[in-house]
């Protein structure tokens, strides 16, 4: 069972106090009505689901009720760090990872 | 019934200075409907062995008679049904872990019509060769719709004990704990680590599955500062209790650390009243589960002895050497008359010494290794015990279908340990 | 004994020197000492363990203590003299060969509890079960209650020998919790029987018990289901309660509905984005019904929101959906639109809600408060602050029954007083308390949906024929707008909400009955929908049902068939789901 | 292949079981196959078996990174049933259930499929409406199902507490008599034995590390132990790893992998002869032929590949079982474990072509994979063989996540997603 450091409360608390809200850093299209069915489906349902490093959105439900990000390993369950929503540093790192990967992305 | 295998000496006697039982408090319990007497501090296993009970169960597939093999949580055979009313039935209790209390009722979980005379045993003896592993995958396929009847028959053999069919009235409790250091096991290592950490001011939890702290020291005749292990244990525990009284330490007996989850979250299963009574008193907690978040964990869980695999090694009377030492030193029980020890390391010698010192005969120590002159082997030789090197017990034998082991077939081995040659036969009752 | 070190993913490493497995360094916050670490000499064990204890204490933040200051130097029990002997090296032998080949020799047991023999393991390997996991699963090695404590290594050794590989290559199976078996109830602790899950009561729970109510589980709530008089069946009680509301006045405890207080200068904009309809022009003092959809365009909650002040609203949600909606608002605000100046807090427990409904509701309310109840000034969908029998209240003139209806919201602590007064003043109007059973019938007579009963997560507002609740021209693309415009959501033959009238007016269709167009077709039949809500309407004197039917909105008047599980096939006609007072006149009176 | 029977067992017994044949061959892979199946679990082995048996395509390899049947096939609670809500899924699962009913004979391997019946309990009025709706749909789809009241449930499960004084009393249940349990490992071994006999190469301890893709078309797989193995078509059936394998081809899937936990009690004498599932209190339970109570719980709410899960889930599942069976209070939990389930947003699988030609995926079975093993293998084999999706598989294509034609089976899936 995870021990999670809530970056808002600034305290380590047990997993029971938190709720996971799925993959983090998913960008909602700025103009949804302008998207194609495919683009909208990608945003809505398709996930990276990696084995390894993952950035996830969590809420401190029995606590401050704030959402924040956890960067952790989905295989070892090690938590690398937790950070607030306005921390953009991981967003930058993530974009880099993506640009290396999505060779066939446009086929979908 | 008399406790025929009990060595009746007091704690003050030199040889049993480590004994943890109290002769002044006899305790009555029943096993398979028969009354027996043990003493305070006995487990069901030690009390049954004291009373000369060999067969405690039947094997699952072949119905072979089985006896007590170990003295701890690794016991595979002595699995009993506990409880004296419907709501307090507990299936699958290890006789080696359950202390006896006045009025305890227990039963073997297998055997029909009785554990001693078991029909499956005869069936098993006749048909065992047709029941290789996975045999059910290879048969019972035709005709297709008969499977449900086959399955009914297979299911009849399923399970060890039985579930109660009434709801339990006892109270159970879950409690959250936080610790700087959680120490699992309170033998010499665990106790030492606990003192080390406590003296540093850490918040410590020390949990041990046994009813007393000390671990394997409780069964050992080794001397610490020329005194028996009990004195050392008592001194350490006294200091630990001092830390406990200051709220810095939590000592848990009857408490097994069962699960190790992510981020050093561990669960401890503490049995508060199981060793005292069938059913807890009103408002009394029967068992408590501790959910512990520990910054550091120290595993001081000791080691388990590994049995050697040989023919008919399951006959009642075949036991682990460490278990023999435990029964002798801790419970003053000698589970048999004559002993043959087979070993691949030095620990078997200790059992032979303990057995000899308890006043019964050791026929031989059979060492799979080449002859050597370790200190222990010298001690054993000095006691007049035969050592047979580079040999092994290849087979245990019995007289009748349901009797315990009565002899061991010993052969010498080649240097690789892969083949045997020559025959030598020895008689014994415990192996 | 490394069982525990494996539970979180550690994999033991075989040591040939010690003939034993040792823990890997998977977990940096864990260490093994003593025999578990391959140390067997007692003096070494004590020394090593003390150091481990000190280190663990330091690593856990106790580095400032001085170990020696706590030690009585005279008698350091941690540095004892122990008689030791030099152990000779152990031999790595596991399986003692017999004079006969293993398969011919008497049985050599490896796992006693499951009667796994050396011959059995060798046979399994010979049959091709070479992975240690395969051997374990095929022979049941280590499956017993001892989890292979004394058998696993021997089993592995026999497999290794047979395959002519090392024990390290053979590897281990994975240890799982528990080390020894744990009593179920010890794990559950006190969370059994009535504590299995929290029971939530409204402030009026005891009053309902006094009135002999039976309760329905809705989420964690206990809601009054119906209030039977002596010997009354449920159907009789519900019929009586329904008629009382339609002809006089009824009283419902609606406190379980979720209530979220929303404030801030962007509150309207926020509502615009989370609801499908428009909120920009709702004046202070008015209420509006809203539908909430997911990003996929499917309805997931509904409720009435009142404008308390220009920047202040109170939103109601369904009873079961309250927690989810609250979380939904939070995630959108915090992650997507943090720039919106809006704050919300859940106030479900702070307010008790009592609904009086029926043609005599106003007469009753007039006895309890001095505010102007004139329907010209306190109109349908208005709300007013009021003093009700001395209690500061908010009265919402909204209706889930189709009758003239007032929802009286009072601080929870005053609920009982107001309830008692309502019963007292209500006597002359034969005020009848009613429960969820009656509420369901009354709303179905009006064709009002219950989210979760008439919808199932695959229904859009258009499917409910509630396109009127979807604003087409809001500047911001509200949640669900894009989803409900996907190809499949625009199909004509989607399942749509309609009413059903059975041929026989007394026949009440079972909820969940499936609908077909052609009777007498073979199985598998082509199903076009199902009944979502179905009751006998005492007010109308016939049964009513709501259903979803493919392209149903265009099939008004058509016959459909419902094959029931008793073998009977019932015919019904598609109709509007609004059975009672379709003009909505009564709620406006 | 020597046939298994009571007689062969007897004959080998006389001979002390010296000369049983290997169950499957241990071949070195060829350079090229017509079809490569990535993943040697139940579904993958079934696919290979049906490819060879029904479609005569035997130049097939199954590539497994660990041991056969070592993924979720080895880690589930073995429940088999077909009482799903929507036509699309109930037809698919019913197809599978029909194959189950003759699977032991088909494979000459006893998979111990035991049709002891499955109960899905209802605890609220809405549960009962949902049960009505589902059972009615099942009946009209030709799937057996009944609705039982608490009295009838009591007759089937005498020790379940059906009284009204529970926190969530049992109001009724749906009952599928043809449902049941099977011996999970045997299913994989039976399909493996059958496939191997028909010429399929089963390659264990060989990990696929990538795909060779030319002009948008897959032409082979890269492996760690044997390098490149070329193939005309590749089918991926890698539950618990779908996202990872898809990403090797540059694809994303609408899938998230979560731990799903289960545990067994110590073996006890038979006391529960049927499968009992409850969505509302959130637990499901059956008793194996060995006597263990096999209990499943809900899935973890976060992604994980650790084959272990969050402890509170276990606590809740135990409490749920005690809510149904207070008499199990003193029974003890022996072992717990976790599988990795690939969950789709609509709790239905994906059996689909992908944007890469000749690359097929069969995944996303969530908690429902085991029961589908033969059916999934069969329709996937047909699709691979004919290059056109099988009728039953068509609704489960990836396209549905774009069009919006989802098949929401959360209610019938048995475990909240």
For the four alpha carbons of C263, C269, C275 and C278, in that order, the dihedral sign comes to positive
Task: Provide mean pLDDT across the span C78-106.
Answer: 82
Residue C250 half-sphere exposure toward CB, CA atoms < 13 A = 31
Cα B155 to chain centroid distance, Å, stands at 29
Number of domains in chain C: 4
Binning pLDDT at 50, 70 and 90, where does residue B140 land? confident
Which tokens is D273 given? Answer: 């002869």
E strands present in B54-207: 57-58, 65-66, 79-82, 90-94, 104-108, 171-184, 204-207
Same domain, B273 and B325: no
> Where a domain ends, among B157, B189, B224?
B157
Q: Is residue B106 part of a domain?
A: yes
Same domain, C140 and C267: no
pLDDT above 70 for B116: no
Closest CA to D339 of C435, C174, C230, C165: C174
**Percentage of chain C lying above the pLDDT 90 cut:** 78
For chain D, residues with pLDDT lower than 70 are 1, 412-417
Residue among B83, B88, B139 whose CB faces D9 most closely: B139
Same domain, B109 and B50: yes
Instruction: Tell me the backbone φ, ψ of residue C412, rounded to 5 degrees.
Output: -55, -35
Alpha-carbon gap, residue A29 to D153, rounded angstroms: 51
Beta strand D275-278 with D118-122 is: parallel
**Domain span including residue B329:** 321-427
Same domain, B186 and B151: no
Same domain, C132 and C54: no
Cβ-Cβ contacts under 8 Å for C72 (sequence gap 6 or more): none
Closest CA to C348 of C261, C289, C253: C261
- pLDDT digit string (tens) for C234-263? 999 999 999 999 999 999 999 999 999 999
Binning pLDDT at 50, 70 and 90, where does residue B120 land? low
If one counts every other C-beta atom within 10 angstroms of the C-beta of residue B145, the result is: 8
**Percentage of chain C lying above the pLDDT 70 cut:** 98
pLDDT above 50 for B1: no
Number of domains in chain B: 3
For chain A, residues with pLDDT lower than 50 are 102-108
Closest CA to B282 of B294, B271, B273: B273
Chain B adjacent subunits, 3+ CB pairs under 8 A: A, C, D
Alpha-carbon gap, residue C438 to C443, rounded angstroms: 9
Tell me if chain C has a CB within 8 Å of the CB of B188. Answer: yes
pTM of the model: 0.94
H/E element holding C392? strand C391-396
Alpha-carbon gap, residue D72 to D77, rounded angstroms: 10
Task: Provide mean pLDDT across the span C448-475.
Answer: 94
- pLDDT at position A99 is 66
CATH no. for residue B341? 3.50.50.60
- pLDDT at position A104 is 44
Chain D CB contacts of A47 under 8 Å are 243, 252-256
Same domain, B80 and B145: yes
Instruction: Tell me the backbone φ, ψ of residue B382, rounded to 5 degrees.
Output: -60, -25
- pLDDT at position B420 is 52
Alpha-carbon gap, residue B43 to B71, rounded angstroms: 9
Residue-level length of chain A? 108
Which tokens is D396 given? Answer: 């489960």
Q: Is residue C363 part of a domain?
A: yes
- pLDDT digit string (tens) for B327-371? 999 999 998 888 999 988 888 899 999 999 888 888 889 988 888
pLDDT above 60 for B422: no
User: What's chain C's average pLDDT?
Assistant: 93
Tell me if chain A has a CB within 8 Å of the CB of B264. Answer: yes
CATH no. for residue C345? 3.30.1360.120
Torsion angle of C-alpha atoms C147, C148, C150, C154, degrees rounded to 10: -170
D250 and A23: CB-CB below 8 Å? Answer: no
Q: Is residue C212 part of a domain?
A: no
**Domain span including residue C399:** 250-443
Which tokens is D348 given? Answer: 């239905």
Which tokens is D377 given? Answer: 């293998």
Q: Is residue C234 part of a domain?
A: no
Same domain, B127 and B252: no
Same domain, B102 and B238: no
From A72's Cα to the closest Cα of chain D, the distance in A is 10
Alpha-carbon gap, residue D12 to B358, rounded angstroms: 49
Tell me if chain A has a CB within 8 Å of the CB of D251. Answer: yes
Same domain, B151 and B17: yes
pLDDT above 90 for C74: no
Q: Which domains does chain A have, with CATH numbers?
A: 3-103 (3.30.2270.10)
Binning pLDDT at 50, 70 and 90, where does residue C102 land? confident
Cis peptide before B166 (omega within 30 of 0): no
3-state SS string over B179-208?
EEEEEECCCHHHHHHHHHHHHCCCCEEEEC
H/E element holding B249? strand B249-252
For the four alpha carbons of D298, D300, D305 and D306, in that order, the dihedral sign comes to negative
With beta carbons less than 8 A apart as the criterion, state whether D417 and D343 touch: yes
- pLDDT at position B123 is 62
- pLDDT at position D221 is 97
Same domain, C509 and C408: no
Q: Is residue C496 part of a domain?
A: yes
From C24's Cα to the closest Cα of chain A, the distance in A is 14
How wide is the angle at C-alpha D72 spanned by C-alphas D67 and D73, nearest 5°? 70
CATH no. for residue C584? 2.40.30.110
From B201's Cα to the closest Cα of chain A, the distance in A is 22
Sequence-separated contacts (24+) of C167-172 with Cβ below 8 Å: C167/C14, C168/C13, C168/C14, C168/C16, C170/C132, C171/C132, C172/C11, C172/C12, C172/C21, C172/C132
Tell me how far apart the 2 most distant CA atoms of chain C are, in Å: 107
Which tokens is D154 given? Answer: 């009591």
Chain C adjacent subunits, 3+ CB pairs under 8 A: A, B, D
> Where a domain ends, among C181, C212, C241?
C181
Same domain, C52 and C112: no
- pLDDT at position D304 is 93
Q: Is residue C581 part of a domain?
A: yes
Cβ-Cβ contacts under 8 Å for C67 (sequence gap 6 or more): B196, B199, B200, C54
Helix (H, G, I), strand (E, B) or coil at C38: coil
From C257's Cα to the closest Cα of chain B, the distance in A is 33
Same domain, C432 and C529: no
Same domain, B179 and B153: no
Alpha-carbon gap, residue B275 to B306, rounded angstroms: 28
Q: Is residue B408 part of a domain?
A: yes
CATH no. for residue C163? 1.10.10.1100
Cβ-Cβ contacts under 8 Å for D158 (sequence gap 6 or more): none
Binning pLDDT at 50, 70 and 90, where does residue B121 land? low
C62 and B180: CB-CB below 8 Å? Answer: yes
Judged by average pLDDT, the poorest of B101-115, B230-244, C30-44, C48-62 is: B101-115
Cβ density class C401-439: b for 16+ within 10 Å, e for less: bbbbbbbbbbbbebbeebbebbeebbeebebbbbbbbbb
With beta carbons less than 8 A apart as the criterion, state whether B248 and B201 touch: yes
Cβ-Cβ contacts under 8 Å for B284 (sequence gap 6 or more): B171, B272, B273
Q: Which residue has the tokens 């964690």?
A: C220
Alpha-carbon gap, residue D162 to D155, rounded angstroms: 11
A1 and B261: CB-CB below 8 Å? Answer: yes
Same domain, C438 and C520: no
pLDDT above 70 for B426: no
Binning pLDDT at 50, 70 and 90, where does residue C73 land? low
Q: Is residue B54 part of a domain?
A: yes
Beta strand C391-396 with C405-411 is: antiparallel
Helix (H, G, I), strand (E, B) or coil at A11: strand
Binning pLDDT at 50, 70 and 90, where does residue C314 land? very high
Cβ-Cβ contacts under 8 Å for A12 (sequence gap 6 or more): A3, A4, A5, A6
Alpha-carbon gap, residue B276 to A101, rounded angstroms: 64
Taking CA atoms, what residue in C is nearest to B204? C57
Same domain, C271 and C364: yes
Same domain, B141 and B20: yes
Q: ipTM of this predicted complex?
A: 0.93
Same domain, B204 and B231: yes
Same domain, C371 and C256: yes
Same domain, C435 and C577: no
Q: Is residue B97 part of a domain?
A: yes
Query: Which tops the pLDDT comparison, C114 or C529?
Result: C529
Tell me if chain A has a CB within 8 Å of the CB of D9. Answer: no
Q: Is residue B8 part of a domain?
A: no
H/E element holding D235? strand D227-236
E strands present in D29-97: 32-38, 60-63, 79-80
Cα D161 to chain centroid distance, Å, stands at 30
- pLDDT at position B114 is 63
Same domain, C290 and C395: yes
B90 and D8: CB-CB below 8 Å? Answer: no
Same domain, B373 and B270: no
Q: Is residue C283 part of a domain?
A: yes
**Percentage of chain B lying above the pLDDT 90 cut:** 50
Q: Is residue C467 part of a domain?
A: no
With beta carbons less than 8 A apart as the criterion, state whether B203 and B249 touch: yes
Same domain, B152 and B189: no
Q: Is residue C147 part of a domain?
A: yes
Q: Is residue B166 part of a domain?
A: no
C177 and B260: CB-CB below 8 Å? Answer: yes
Closest CA to D396 of D176, D90, D187, D136: D90
User: What's chain B's average pLDDT?
Assistant: 87
From C482's Cα to the closest Cα of chain A, the distance in A is 6
Same domain, C125 and C64: no
Cβ density class C293-316: b for 16+ within 10 Å, e for less: bbbbbbbbbbbbbbbbeebebbbb
> Where a domain ends, among C123, C157, C181?
C181
Enumerate helices (H) and strands (E) in chain C, giving the number of each.
Answer: 15, 25
Same domain, C58 and C113: no
Sequence-separated contacts (24+) of B250-253 with Cβ below 8 Å: B250/B177, B250/B179, B250/B204, B250/B205, B250/B206, B251/B186, B251/B206, B251/B213, B252/B205, B252/B206, B252/B207, B252/B208, B252/B290, B253/B208, B253/B210, B253/B211, B253/B212, B253/B213
- pLDDT at position B10 is 55
């Amino acid at each position: 069972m995870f021990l999670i450091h809530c970056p808002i409360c600034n305290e380590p608390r047990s997993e029971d106090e938190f709720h996971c809200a799925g993959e983090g850093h998913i960008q909602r299209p700025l103009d949804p009505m302008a998207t194609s069915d495919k683009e909208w489906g990608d945003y809505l349902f398709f996930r990276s689901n990696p084995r390894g490093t993952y950035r996830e959105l969590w809420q401190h439900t029995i606590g401050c009720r704030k959402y924040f990000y956890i960067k952790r390993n989905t295989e070892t369950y090690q938590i690398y760090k937790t950070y607030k929503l306005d921390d953009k540093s991981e967003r930058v790192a993530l974009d880099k990872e993506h640009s290396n990967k999505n060779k066939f992305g446009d086929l979908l | 019934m008399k406790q025929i295998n009990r060595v009746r000496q007091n704690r003050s006697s030199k040889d049993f200075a480590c004994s943890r039982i109290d002769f002044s408090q006899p305790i009555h319990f029943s096993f398979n409907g028969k009354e027996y007497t043990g003493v305070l501090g006995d487990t069901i296993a030690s009390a049954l062995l004291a009373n000369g009970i060999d067969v405690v169960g039947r094997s699952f597939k072949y119905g072979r008679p089985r006896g007590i093999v170990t003295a701890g949580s690794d016991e595979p055979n002595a699995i009993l049904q506990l409880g004296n009313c419907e709501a307090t039935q507990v299936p699958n209790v290890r006789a080696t872990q359950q202390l006896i209390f006045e009025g305890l009722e227990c039963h073997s979980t297998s055997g029909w019509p009785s554990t001693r005379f078991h029909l499956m045993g005869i069936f098993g003896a006749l048909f065992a060769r047709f029941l290789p592993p996975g045999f059910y995958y290879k048969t019972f396929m035709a005709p297709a719709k008969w499977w449900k009847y086959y399955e009914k028959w297979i299911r009849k053999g399923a399970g060890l004990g039985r579930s109660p069919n009434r709801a339990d009235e006892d109270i159970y409790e879950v409690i959250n704990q936080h610790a700087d250091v959680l120490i699992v096991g309170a033998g010499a290592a665990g106790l030492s680590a606990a003192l080390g950490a406590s003296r540093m001011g850490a918040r410590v939890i020390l949990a041990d599955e046994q009813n007393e702290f000390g671990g394997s020291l409780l069964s050992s005749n080794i001397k610490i500062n020329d005194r028996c292990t009990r004195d050392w244990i008592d001194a350490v525990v006294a200091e630990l209790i001092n830390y406990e009284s200051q709220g810095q330490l939590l000592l848990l007996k009857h408490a097994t650390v069962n699960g190790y989850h992510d981020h050093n979250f561990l669960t401890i299963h503490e049995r508060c009243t199981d060793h005292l009574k069938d059913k807890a008193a009103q408002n009394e907690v029967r068992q408590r589960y501790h959910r512990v978040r520990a910054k550091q964990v120290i595993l001081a869980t000791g080691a388990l002895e590994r049995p050697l695999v040989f023919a008919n090694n399951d006959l009642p009377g075949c036991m682990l050497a460490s278990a023999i030492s435990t029964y002798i030193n801790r419970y003053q029980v000698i589970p048999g008359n004559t002993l043959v020890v087979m070993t691949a390391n030095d620990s078997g010698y200790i059992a032979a010494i303990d057995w000899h010192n308890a006043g019964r005969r050791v026929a031989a120590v059979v060492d799979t290794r080449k002859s050597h002159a370790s200190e222990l082997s010298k001690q054993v030789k000095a006691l007049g015990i035969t050592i047979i090197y580079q040999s092994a017990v290849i087979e245990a034998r019995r007289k009748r279908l349901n009797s315990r082991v009565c002899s061991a077939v010993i052969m010498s081995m080649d240097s690789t340990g892969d083949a045997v040659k020559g025959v030598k036969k020895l008689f014994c009752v415990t192996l | 004994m490394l069982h525990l070190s494996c539970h979180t993913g550690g994999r033991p490493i075989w040591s040939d020197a010690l003939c034993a497995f040792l823990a890997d360094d998977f977990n940096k916050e864990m260490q093994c000492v003593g025999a578990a670490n391959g140390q067997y000499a007692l003096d070494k064990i004590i020394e090593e363990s003390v150091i481990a204890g000190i280190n663990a204490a330091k690593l856990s933040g106790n580095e400032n203590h001085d170990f020696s200051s706590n030690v009585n130097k005279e008698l350091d029990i941690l540095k004892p003299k122990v008689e030791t002997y030099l152990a000779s090296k152990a031999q790595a032998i596991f399986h003692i060969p017999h004079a006969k080949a293993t398969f011919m020799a008497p049985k050599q047991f490896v796992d006693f509890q499951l009667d796994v023999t050396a011959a059995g393991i060798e046979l399994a390997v010979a049959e091709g079960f070479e992975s240690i996991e395969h051997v374990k699963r095929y022979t049941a090695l280590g499956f017993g209650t001892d989890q292979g404590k004394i058998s696993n290594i021997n089993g592995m050794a026999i497999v290794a020998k047979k395959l002519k590989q090392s024990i390290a290559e053979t590897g281990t199976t994975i240890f799982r919790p528990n080390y020894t078996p744990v009593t179920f109830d010890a794990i559950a602790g006190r969370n059994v029987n009535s504590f299995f899950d929290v029971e939530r009561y409204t402030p009026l729970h005891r009053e309902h018990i006094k009135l002999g109510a039976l309760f329905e589980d809705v989420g964690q709530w206990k809601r009054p289901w119906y209030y039977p008089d002596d010997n009354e069946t449920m159907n009789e009680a519900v019929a009586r309660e329904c008629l009382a509301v339609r002809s006089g006045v009824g009283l419902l405890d609606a406190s379980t509905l979720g209530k979220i207080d929303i404030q801030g200068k962007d509150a309207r904009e926020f509502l615009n984005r989370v609801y499908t309809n428009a909120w920009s022009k709702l004046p202070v003092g008015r209420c509006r019904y809203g539908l909430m959809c997911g990003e996929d365009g499917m309805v997931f909650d509904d409720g009435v929101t009142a404008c308390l002040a220009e920047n202040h609203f109170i939103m109601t949600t369904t009873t079961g959906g309250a927690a989810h909606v609250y979380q939904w608002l939070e995630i959108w605000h915090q992650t997507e639109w943090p720039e919106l100046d809006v704050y919300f807090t859940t106030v479900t427990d702070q307010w008790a809600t009592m609904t009086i409904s029926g043609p005599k509701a106003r007469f009753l309310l007039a006895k309890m408060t001095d505010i102007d109840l004139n329907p010209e000034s306190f109109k349908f969908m208005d709300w007013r602050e009021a003093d009700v029998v001395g209690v500061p209240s908010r009265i919402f003139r909204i209706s889930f029954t189709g009758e003239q209806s007032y929802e009286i919201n009072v601080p929870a602590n005053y609920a009982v007083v107001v309830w008692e007064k309502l019963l007292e003043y209500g006597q002359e109007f034969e005020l009848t308390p009613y429960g969820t059973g009656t509420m369901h019938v009354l709303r179905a007579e009006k064709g009002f949906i219950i989210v979760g009963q008439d919808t199932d997560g695959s229904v859009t507002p258009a499917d409910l024929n509630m396109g009127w609740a979807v604003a087409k021209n809001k500047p911001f693309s509200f949640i669900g707008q894009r989803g409900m415009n996907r190809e499949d959501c625009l199909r004509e033959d989607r399942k749509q909400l309609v009413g059903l009238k059975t041929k026989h007016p007394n026949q009440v269709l079972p909820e969940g009955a499936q609908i077909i167009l052609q009777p007498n077709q073979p199985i598998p039949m082509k199903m076009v929908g199902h009944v979502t809500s179905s009751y006998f309407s005492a007010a109308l004197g016939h049964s009513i049902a709501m259903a979803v039917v493919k392209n149903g909105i265009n099939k008004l008047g058509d016959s459909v068939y419902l094959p029931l599980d008793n073998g009977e096939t019932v015919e019904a006609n598609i109709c509007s789901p609004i059975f009672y007072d379709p003009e909505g006149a009564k709620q406006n009176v | 292949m020597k046939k298994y029977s009571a007689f062969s067992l007897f004959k080998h017994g006389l001979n002390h079981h010296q000369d049983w044949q290997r169950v499957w061959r241990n071949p070195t892979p060829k350079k090229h196959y017509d079809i490569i199946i990535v993943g040697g679990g139940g579904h993958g082995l079934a696919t290979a078996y049906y490819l060879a048996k029904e479609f005569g395509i035997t130049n097939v390899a199954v590539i497994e990174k660990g041991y056969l049947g070592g993924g979720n096939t080895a880690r589930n609670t073995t429940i088999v049933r077909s009482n799903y809500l929507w036509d699309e899924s109930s037809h698919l699962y019913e197809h599978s259930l029909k194959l189950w009913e003759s699977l032991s004979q088909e494979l000459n391997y006893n998979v111990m499929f035991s049709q002891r019946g499955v109960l899905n309990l209802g605890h609220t009025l809405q549960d009962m409406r949902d049960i009505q709706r589902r059972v009615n749909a099942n009946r009209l789809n030709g799937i057996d199902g009944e609705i039982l009241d608490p009295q009838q449930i009591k007759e089937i499960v005498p020790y379940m507490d059906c009284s009204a004084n529970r926190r969530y009393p049992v109001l009724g249940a749906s009952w599928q008599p043809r449902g049941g349990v099977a011996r999970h490992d045997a299913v994989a071994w039976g399909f493996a034995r059958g496939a191997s006999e028909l010429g399929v190469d089963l390659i264990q301890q060989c990990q696929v590390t990538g795909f060779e893709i030319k002009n948008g078309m897959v032409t082979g797989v890269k492996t760690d132990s044997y390098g490149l193995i070329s193939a005309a078509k590749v089918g991926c059936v890698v539950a618990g790893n779908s996202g990872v394998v898809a990403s090797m081809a540059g694809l994303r899937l609408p899938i998230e992998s979560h731990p799903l936990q289960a545990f067994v009690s110590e073996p006890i004498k038979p006391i529960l002869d049927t499968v009992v599932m409850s969505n509302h209190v959130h637990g499901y339970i059956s008793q194996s032929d060995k006597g263990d109570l096999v209990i499943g719980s809900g899935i973890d709410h976060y992604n994980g590949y650790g084959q272990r899960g969050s402890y509170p889930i276990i606590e809740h599942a135990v409490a749920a079982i005690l809510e149904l069976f207070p008499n199990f209070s003193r029974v003890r939990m022996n072992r717990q474990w976790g599988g990795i389930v690939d969950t789709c947003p609509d709790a239905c699988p994906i059996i689909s072509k992908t944007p890469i030609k000749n690359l097929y995926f069969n995944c996303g079975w969530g908690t429902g994979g085991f029961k589908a093993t033969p059916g999934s293998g069969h329709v996937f084999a047909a699709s691979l063989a004919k290059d056109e999706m099988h009728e039953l598989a068509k609704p489960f294509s990836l396209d549905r996540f774009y069009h919006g034609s989802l098949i929401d089976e959360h209610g019938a899936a048995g475990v909240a997603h």
